[in-house]
């Protein structure tokens, strides 16, 4: 399972499509002197009778009634929040060291959810059981692998409630939006609410802007990077929902020689200049080093390269 990703499916990556806005602005500005969001919240309504939902594993989750006590991976919880579906607990990066909401938490009020785990491999099964969970929801980067659900405790966790997994890879942002919307609707969300339709309109406008920018600058090449103390990871665009969609819109990406897992290539800092790129689209999660910390690591001959940090939804 890939532990380093360049994007996440959260409220900021789904409805707002800020990555498209930011990348479009940078693409349009390349070579010129001039440099150049929001989300929608619906409301939920009571639904009676049995509940079912077929997830992206092809499995159907079932309950006697619509689940109310929901626990989800932080990014998925943030997406559901925008549809008016609130969760009781979350797992995955939620709170930063200074106590603020992690970027993957989107607009979640993290003071109102039980945090079952904040880092990779951490999931408090006892706290989870105490919540009386009726549904577990998470992302899926590889078939049948539940994102941030530890393998060693997975069996215990899955015995406590039905589970739903939605693709974060092998899909595009529009398709991922639809699947999150399908789930939210099944849980009682009003997906026709004005704020949601307005957010979709902003998404489509951002996509059109990116398509136009890519068309106007066909020779601009973008590299997707994620930085750690020891390595610089270059990701393959087609493996992530957002960057695959950007690629479909016409953005040209560096194609690294990925490792066996197929998601990224690991480069030492001495070899970080292996690929030529006009724009470097960086991972903005708290687990990755940010551009202001990278100046000393880049080879002297490449320190002039501008790091374009694309913050989804901002």
Closest CA to 271 of 233, 309, 307: 233
Q: N- to C-terminal Cα distance for the chain?
A: 28
Closest CA to 117 of 132, 104, 135, 134: 104
Collapsing DSSP to helix, strand or coil, 94 comes out as coil
pLDDT higher for 305 or 169? Answer: 169
Q: Which two tokens stand for residue 140?
A: 């899926």
Predicted confidence at residue 296, as pLDDT, reads: 59
d(CA 169, CA 175): 11
Is the pTM above the cut of 0.75?
yes
pLDDT higher for 2 or 254? Answer: 254
- DSSP structure string for 246-300: HHHTT-EE------TTSSEEEEEGGGTTSS--SEEEE--STTSB-GGG-TTTS-G
pLDDT tens by residue, 230-243: 888 898 999 889 99
Q: pLDDT class for 261, splitting at 50, 70, 90?
A: confident
pLDDT higher for 124 or 262? Answer: 124
Angle in degrees, 0-180, between the axes of helices 173-186 and 74-82, rounded to the nearest 10: 70
Q: Which two tokens stand for residue 193?
A: 């609410």
pLDDT tens by residue, 44-73: 666 668 999 999 999 999 999 999 999 999
**Separate counts of helices (H) and strands (E) for the chain:** 7, 13
Closest CA to 147 of 5, 286, 261: 5
Which DSSP letter does residue 102 get? P
Predicted confidence at residue 300, as pLDDT, reads: 47
Using the predicted structure, report yes or no on whether residue 84 has a pLDDT greater than 90. yes
pLDDT higher for 197 or 259? Answer: 197
Which DSSP letter does residue 44 get? B
pLDDT higher for 91 or 5? Answer: 91
């Amino acid at each position: 399972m890939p532990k380093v990703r360049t994007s996440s499916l959260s409220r900021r990556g789904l409805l707002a499509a800020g990555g498209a806005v930011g990348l479009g602005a940078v693409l349009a500005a390349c070579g010129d002197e001039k440099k150049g969001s929001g989300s929608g919240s619906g409301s939920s309504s009571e639904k009676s009778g049995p509940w079912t939902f077929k997830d992206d594993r092809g499995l159907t989750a079932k309950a006697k009634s619509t689940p109310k006590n929901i626990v989800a991976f932080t990014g998925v919880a943030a997406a559901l929040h925008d549809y008016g579906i609130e969760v009781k607990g979350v797992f995955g990066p939620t709170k930063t060291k200074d106590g603020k909401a992690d970027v993957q938490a989107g607009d979640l009020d993290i003071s109102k959810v039980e945090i079952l785990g904040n880092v990779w491999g951490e999931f408090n099964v006892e706290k989870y059981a105490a919540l009386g969970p009726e549904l577990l929801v998470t992302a899926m980067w590889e078939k049948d692998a539940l994102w941030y659900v530890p393998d060693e405790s997975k069996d215990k966790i899955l015995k406590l409630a039905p589970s739903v997994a939605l693709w974060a890879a092998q899909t595009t942002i529009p398709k991922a939006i639809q699947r999150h919307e399908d789930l939210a609707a099944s849980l009682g969300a009003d997906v026709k609410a004005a704020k949601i339709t307005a957010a979709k309109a902003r998404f489509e406008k951002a996509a059109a802007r990116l398509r136009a920018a890519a068309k106007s600058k066909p020779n601009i090449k973008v590299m997707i990077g994620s930085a750690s103390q020891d390595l610089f990871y270059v990701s393959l665009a087609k493996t992530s929902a957002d960057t695959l969609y950007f690629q479909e819109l016409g953005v040209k990406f560096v194609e690294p020689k990925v490792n066996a897992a197929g998601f990224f290539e690991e480069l030492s800092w001495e070899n970080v200049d292996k690929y030529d790129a006009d724009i470097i689209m960086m991972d903005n999660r708290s687990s990755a080093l940010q551009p202001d910390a990278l100046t000393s690591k880049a080879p002297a001959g490449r320190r002039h390269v501008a790091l374009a940090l694309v913050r989804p939804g901002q």
